[in-house]
Copies of this chain bind each other. A is one copy, B any other.
Amino acid sequence: VKLRPFRLSPLLLASAVLVSAGAAAAQQAPKPEQLIKWRQSNYQVIAWNVGRIKASLDGSYDKEAVIKEANVISAIAGSGLGALYTAGTETGTGWHETRARPELFTDKRVAELSGDFVREAGELVRVANGGDPAAVKQQFGKLTKTCKACHDDYRAKE
């Protein structure tokens, strides 16, 4: 038995390319609702870890836990959250209606505030590794100030 070479019709090939391009585009451009869910999820994870660090500072200090918690905040801060604020996500509902204000998408100052957040979160990891609760408390205050700076101007009041 002689095997016939497999031949792809130009039409089939064109379809395959289109389908594959479509799949790639779908992968590269999730729906606004999904993007908003992801950004809300990122801030929820940050909030959980901020709360745990606060509990450690207010109660009995757990050095190893605080290092891990600070690591999460810093890793998320540096992970390019801006990719979740694409055009089309200015309004809409993820897990809940977005509280992002329109100015968040236009003000040049946002990049600066975002940089402050990344920097202070990284510094918290460094200080947490030192293990001095008083120093961690001080740096934790600097970090949460960067959260507040952005929320004050760019998050709608509840």
- Identify the A interface with B (CB < 8 A): 24, 27-28, 30, 37-38, 40-42, 44-45, 48-49, 51, 54-55, 58-59, 65, 68-69, 71-72, 74-76, 78-80, 95
Measured CB to CB, the closest approach of chain B to A56, in angstroms, equals 11
Interface centre among A30, A48, A49, A80 (most CB of B within 10 A): A48
| CB contact under 8 A between A24 and B59, given known A38-B48, A41-B41, A45-B41 | yes
Please state if B78 and A75 are interface contacts (CB–CB under 8 Å): no
Please state if A37 and B27 are interface contacts (CB–CB under 8 Å): no
In the complex, residue of chain B having the shortest beta-carbon distance to the beta carbon of A27: B55
Task: Write 21 A-B pairs (CB below 8 A) sorted by A numbering.
Answer: A24-B58, A24-B59, A27-B58, A37-B44, A41-B44, A41-B45, A49-B79, A65-B80, A68-B75, A68-B78, A68-B79, A69-B79, A71-B75, A71-B78, A71-B79, A72-B72, A72-B75, A72-B76, A72-B79, A74-B75, A75-B76
User: For A28, what are the chain B residues with a Cβ–Cβ distance below 8 Å?
Assistant: 55, 59
CA distance A51 to B29 in the complex (A): 11
Task: Taking A24-B58, A38-B48 as given, write out 16 further A-B residue pairs in contact, using a Cβ cutoff of 8 Å, ordered by the A residue number.
Answer: A27-B54, A27-B55, A27-B58, A37-B95, A38-B44, A40-B41, A41-B41, A41-B45, A42-B48, A45-B45, A69-B79, A71-B78, A72-B72, A72-B75, A72-B76, A75-B75
In the complex, residue of chain B having the shortest beta-carbon distance to the beta carbon of A44: B41
User: For A71, what are the chain B residues with a Cβ–Cβ distance below 8 Å?
Assistant: 75, 78-79
CA distance A72 to B59 in the complex (A): 27
